[in-house]
Amino acid sequence: MEWDELIERSNRPSIFLDSRMVRSLLSSKTRNVAALMWHFKGQLKGISFVEDAVAESVNLSGHLESRSFVFDTVSSLLHGRSGRLKFSVRVMGTTLGSGDHGFRFTPDVSYKQQQDCVENSMFHSASDWGNRIPQVVMAKDTVIRDGASKSALFPGWTPMEFDPEMIVHLDPLWNTLEDCMPSLVTKSRTKFKRILSLSEDFEIEMWSLEQLQEEGHELIELYRLVFERSGFRLGSLHLEELIESKRFWGEAFVVSVYVLEGKRVGFQCAYVTSDATEAFFVGFKPELTKSHAIYQRMLLEFIQLGIMAGSKELHMGRTALDVKSSIGALPRRLQCDVKFRNPLFHAVVNAFTKRFSPLPPVLKRPWKTSSYPLERQSEINAVHPS
């Protein structure tokens, strides 16, 4: 109760810091995780969630725009002939999603006190598993407002910007997916209808906790088909996360399974609240993307879930930017702040990261100029000028 009350007092809702999410992840036998609570004079003043994970980079140059020949050379050497680079990292925030879910403090905790809390915990708290503290710590993800440049979360940290998080602002007047059609330009309305037509042969099952416990391994196999194609990986999904999420969230954690000709060919899952719907993970047979628009249909189903729940926003993560933008998602820039325990190595990394930025995404423009999603995006940006 105290944990969730603190989030409410911070006026920054977070599905990934919600006590139900934290309890479900703490139940994991495969994730090296911890819930952090900072107390001042006996009162809870700050919370966070931390995981010691393994990051894997595959073809980093394909995701970044570099302005340095030296950076490109070093990156190639680090990735080696296999094109893969693995390293341990301590993450403050969620490794399973995107967005501003790193930590929350009450308004009376100063900026300097926040930094002291974060650094003392992240750099000096040993793992319960007996593992060494990773050499690099990451605070993930901080929102970059408007057209501002990335700037360090705390002095001495290095900000790194990658792909944006894709958001769909949901008009409170929408009651069904069809209600958003008038706000779309003609080309996008046609796309929506084509997706629904191509995917009409799917049967969609809503799974219970019991089904996940008995047959959930099939969903993880489908998830692996998508996960193995990603360029940067920070941890991965396990069946126990699905089971424990369903146990703690109940109907607010939705697992939808796609059936075609009697076979399970895909799934999607989401956390649903009145503040936001958080698209969690999907898995599907890739060959159905073109023939049956399975991935695009899943994106539309996420929108439908958010509308039915009365959510203010749908958070869709930071992958497949072009496809998500084509069905109405708008970008929210994010940065990850890192700090290395070795000061010399941190200085070298800090110098190199100034030489690269994310590849500029080419995004679709599906909404009419006067539509609610575009107006809402402008309104949010206007509240926090750069």
pLDDT band at 66 (very low <50, low <70, confident <90, very high): very low
Structure tokens at 316: 């869709």
Sign of the torsion formed by the C-alpha atoms of 338, 341, 345 and 346: positive
- Location of each CATH 3.40.630.30 domain in the chain: 167-331+366-383
In the structure encoding, which two tokens stand for residue 219, read together? 């969903």
Q: DSSP state, 183?
A: G
pLDDT band for 76, please (50, 70, 90 cuts). Answer: low
Per-residue model confidence (pLDDT) at position 354: 74
Among left, alpha and beta (phi > 0; psi -120 to 50; other), residue 48 is beta
Compute the radius of gyration of the chain from its Cα atoms.
21
Q: pTM value? A: 0.90
Angle made by CA atoms 179, 310, 35, in degrees to the nearest 5: 140
Which of the residue ranges 29-38, 88-97, 338-347, 351-360 would you say has the lowest mean pLDDT?
Answer: 351-360
What is the chain's mean pLDDT, rounded? Answer: 89
Mean of pLDDT values over 304-327: 95
Task: Report the pLDDT value the prediction gives residue 40, as an integer from 0 to 100.
Answer: 94
Which CATH code is given to the segment(s) 167-331+366-383? 3.40.630.30
CATH architecture for the domain at 2-163+334-354: 3-Layer(aba) Sandwich (3.40)
Please give the share of the chain, as a percent, with pLDDT higher than 90.
Answer: 72
Kindly report whether the peptide bond that precedes residue 100 is cis, defined as omega within 30 degrees of 0.
no
Q: What pLDDT, on a 0 to 100 scale, did the predictor assign at position 385?
A: 37
3-state DSSP assignment of residue 53: strand
* Least confident span in 65-74, 259-268, 298-307: 65-74
Among 130-134, 200-204, 233-237, the least confident range: 233-237
pLDDT tens profile 138-167: 999 999 887 788 899 999 999 998 889 999
Q: Identify the pLDDT of residue 166.
A: 95
Query: pLDDT tens digits, residue range 358-383?
Result: 667 789 999 999 999 999 998 776 54
Q: What is the pLDDT of residue 81?
A: 58
Question: Which tens digits make up the pLDDT trace of 54-64?
Answer: 888 765 555 44
* pLDDT value of residue 384: 42
3-state secondary structure (DSSP) of residue 344 = helix
Residue 79 predicted with pLDDT over 70: no
- Confidence at residue 336, expressed as pLDDT on a 0 to 100 scale: 93
CA-CA distance, 34 to 124, in Å (whole number)? Answer: 14
What 3 state SS string does 88-120 have? EEEEECCCCCCCCCCEEECCCCCHHHHHHHHHH
- Residue 48: pLDDT above 70? yes
